[in-house]
């Protein structure tokens, strides 16, 4: 059987042993954004207020040529990121500072590039990723905060963290997460492996930190909604196992708001040697894996 002939596609996967066409280079960026006023990451024909369109416009201006990009994970309207990773192919030769400071001067205040690096042709922001980590922030207090109204989710009722942790244990590992996927989810399979789901308290915030190779549409928000119901005492921790076993979105029906959700880290093979950046957000200045032991 003959090997398939490689044909270059902009920003596409490049097999081992192949290279980009002469004159092209692949650049990766680390991106942060506040999603409060944005319509999500993915570019939309009817709405320019997306992260992708904002970035592509700025990158095209700096590169002096049209630029398209690929991201590690598309986020919904209202969702934030401190550790989004994107890549693009370009014939432009620019110093690193141009891909950072130059691009940032072209963008609104709520989208920022923190690092830039030329990467091998085999790097792909989406397909090279080994895991993604999200944090979901909940302000549990009698009164909503005026300073973080669109950066965290508010719960008027006190949440029982021990109950939430007990419920979360049912979700760790590989499962069919049909009960936690949105109706419009286009993933071929509902099976995902959750490698971590930690819950801690940081100041006045309750933080859920969850990692997996990949997530279903609305999966983290649906997990947060279910665990908040447990934390309020509306449901017992064992209910989480029942929801999971049902493999039916109607079994839970609880989706937490988007503005508490942050994509904070994407991990890649060490061979790519990408810059490290604090997971954030600034409201939660803790490294990864520190949430589990916080606020106990």
Residues with catalytic roles: 76
Q: How far apart are alpha carbons 53 and 48 in whole angstroms? A: 6
Characterize the bridge pairing of strands 80-90 and 25-33: antiparallel
- Partners of residue 209 on adjacent β-strands: 135, 198
Q: How far apart are alpha carbons 115 and 113 in whole angstroms? A: 6
Q: How far apart are alpha carbons 69 and 43 in whole angstroms? A: 10
The answer to whether the beta carbons of residues 138 and 159 sit under 8 Å apart is yes
Q: To the nearest 5 percent, what fractions of the chain are helix, strand and coil?
A: 25, 25, 50
Q: How far apart are alpha carbons 278 and 290 in whole angstroms? A: 12
Q: How far apart are alpha carbons 112 and 116 in whole angstroms? A: 11
């Amino acid at each position: 059987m003959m090997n398939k002939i490689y044909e270059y596609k902009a920003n596409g996967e490049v097999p081992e042993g192949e290279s980009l066409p002469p004159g092209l280079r692949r650049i990766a960026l680390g991106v942060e954004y506040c999603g409060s006023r944005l319509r999500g990451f993915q570019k939309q024909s009817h709405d320019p207020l997306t992260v992708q369109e904002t970035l592509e416009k700025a990158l095209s201006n700096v590169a002096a040529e049209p630029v398209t990009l690929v991201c590690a994970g598309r986020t919904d309207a209202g969702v934030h990121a401190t550790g989004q990773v994107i890549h693009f192919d370009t014939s432009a030769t620019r110093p690193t500072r141009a891909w950072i400071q130059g691009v940032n001067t072209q963008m609104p205040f709520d989208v920022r590039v923190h690092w830039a690096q030329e990467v091998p042709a085999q790097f792909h922001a989406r397909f090279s990723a080994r895991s993604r980590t999200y944090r979901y922030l909940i302000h549990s207090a009698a009164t909503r905060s005026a300073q973080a109204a669109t950066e965290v989710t508010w719960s008027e009722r006190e949440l029982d963290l021990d109950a939430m942790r007990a419920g979360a244990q049912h979700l760790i590992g590989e499962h069919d997460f049909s009960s936690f996927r949105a109706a419009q989810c286009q993933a071929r399979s509902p099976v995902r492996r959750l490698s971590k789901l930690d819950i801690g308290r940081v100041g006045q915030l309750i933080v859920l930190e969850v990692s997996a190779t990949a997530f279903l549409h609305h999966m983290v928000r649906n997990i947060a909604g279910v665990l908040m119901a447990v934390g309020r005492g509306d449901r017992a921790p064992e209910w989480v196992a029942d929801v999971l076993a049902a493999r039916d979105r109607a079994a839970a029906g609880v989706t937490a708001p988007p503005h508490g959700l942050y994509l904070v880290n994407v991990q890649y093979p060490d061979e790519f040697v990408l810059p490290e950046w604090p997971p954030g957000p600034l409201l939660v200045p803790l490294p990864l894996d520190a949430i589990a032991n916080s606020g106990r």
